[in-house]
């Protein structure tokens, strides 16, 4: 009799194991998760990155993952807002714009960091040392080198913040350049009184910090840090998140976030494929990380 009961129990265990783990409620409701990503300049490389990420997430989440590619962020935002995608990889400004359109229908599931663990970078106002500009309030009546109209750190965010502080932007002579580095070079050539650029503001100042336009020019031998002074910096401009629809189940969102964070340990190759440019892990987004970006109104 004992042998019969033991065999019966063992059979039940084997049957349970053969059927695999029970699905979470969200997995039954969403057997396929669709994630959007911009193709970029190298479609073949993007497809390879997408395949690596999809394989990792399928293993971690236990559902099928479809990563769908779009040509630009306008299509990505449109797809997110019309439920074509459950989640999307967005820039910080695209995330802010999408949430402005849909009244905060997106959440940041996870944020990529750079190799030093930084969550983003800063817009900086640069002048000549001991010059006439010590503060953004001194800018009206002066020449300010800026980047193109769609540059977040080199134009959009700082000018929005200056306007919020009551500075008359129309009274500033904006000198448009092709990039933040070009804006600094225009300042060095006396074509402007100040310049807007971007920087990590981390690491050694003498080398232009770890990343940014200053570091780019120092590394190229076209700038020494003694030639410039930083007189203002913005709030943190975060790296773009993996944005997920707010109306999805909380346990689904939590599992996706956990999978992205765990990628650094569970599958370093997938992490490199997903965040190779910045070189760091994914982390949970701190509260209000993207709040400064909501000042922007960017069309994609």
- The answer to whether 42 and 267 have CB atoms below 8 angstroms apart is no
Average pLDDT over residues 240-257: 96
Select from 32, 47, 152 the least CA-distant residue to 87: 32
d(CA 257, CA 61): 11
Share of the chain above pLDDT 90, in %: 77
| Residue-wise pLDDT tens digits, 263-281 | 999 999 999 999 988 999 9
d(CA 88, CA 79): 9
Select from 147, 96, 124 the least CA-distant residue to 200: 124
- pLDDT higher than 90, residue 293: no
Residues, the chain: 300
Average pLDDT over residues 157-186: 96
Fold of 23-117+238-295: D-Maltodextrin-Binding Protein; domain 2 (3.40.190)
CA angle 184, 189, 191 (to 5 degrees): 85
Share of the chain above pLDDT 70, in %: 91
Please tell me whether residue 284 adopts helix, strand or coil conformation.
coil
For the whole prediction, is pTM greater than 0.85? no
Give residue 5's pLDDT band: very low, low, confident or very high (50, 70, 90): very low
Query: Which segment of 57-66, 94-103, 140-149, 223-232 scores lowest on mean pLDDT?
Result: 94-103
Average pLDDT, the chain: 90
Give residue 4's pLDDT band: very low, low, confident or very high (50, 70, 90): very low
- pLDDT higher than 60, residue 19: no
d(CA 245, CA 118): 25
Please tell me whether residue 81 adopts helix, strand or coil conformation.
helix
Q: What pLDDT shows up at residue 23?
A: 60
Q: Which CATH architecture has domain 120-235?
A: 3-Layer(aba) Sandwich (3.40)
Q: Is 221 left (phi over 0), alpha (psi -120 to 50) or beta?
A: left
Q: What pLDDT shows up at residue 208?
A: 97
Token pair of 135, please? 């503060």
Q: What pLDDT shows up at residue 294?
A: 80
Q: List every span in the chain annotated with CATH 3.40.190.10.
A: 23-117+238-295, 120-235
| Residue-wise pLDDT tens digits, 101-117 | 988 899 999 999 998 88
Q: What pLDDT shows up at residue 11?
A: 47
Q: What pLDDT shows up at residue 47?
A: 93
């Amino acid at each position: 009799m004992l042998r019969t009961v033991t065999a019966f129990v063992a059979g039940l265990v084997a049957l349970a194991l053969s059927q695999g783990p029970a699905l979470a409620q969200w997995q039954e409701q969403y057997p396929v998760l669709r994630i959007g990503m911009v193709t970029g300049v190298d479609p073949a490389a993007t497809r390879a990155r997408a395949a690596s990420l999809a394989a990792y997430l399928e293993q971690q989440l236990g559902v099928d993952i479809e990563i769908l590619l779009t040509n630009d962020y306008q299509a990505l935002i449109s797809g997110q807002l019309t439920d074509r995608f459950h989640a999307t990889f967005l820039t910080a400004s695209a995330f802010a714009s999408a949430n402005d359109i849909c009244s905060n229908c997106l959440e940041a599931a996870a944020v990529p960091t750079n190799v030093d663990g930084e969550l983003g970078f800063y817009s900086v106002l640069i002048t000549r040392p001991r010059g006439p500009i010590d503060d953004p309030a001194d800018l009206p009546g002066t020449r300010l080198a800026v980047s193109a109209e769609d540059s977040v750190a080199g134009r959009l965010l700082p000018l929005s913040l200056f306007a919020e502080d009551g500075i008359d932007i129309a009274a500033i002579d904006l000198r448009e350049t092709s990039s933040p580095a070009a804006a600094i070079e225009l300042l060095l050539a006396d074509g402007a009184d100040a310049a807007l650029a971007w920087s990590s503001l981390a690491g050694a100042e003498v080398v232009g910090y770890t990343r940014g336009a200053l570091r780019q020019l120092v590394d190229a031998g076209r700038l020494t840090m003694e030639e410039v002074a930083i007189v203002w910096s913005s709030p943190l401009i975060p790296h773009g998140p993996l944005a997920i629809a707010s109306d999805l189940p909380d346990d689904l969102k939590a599992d996706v976030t956990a999978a992205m964070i765990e990628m650094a340990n569970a599958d370093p190759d997938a992490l490199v494929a997903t965040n190779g440019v910045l070189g760091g892990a994914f982390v949970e987004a701190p509260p209000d990380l993207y709040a400064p970006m909501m000042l922007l109104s960017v069309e994609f």
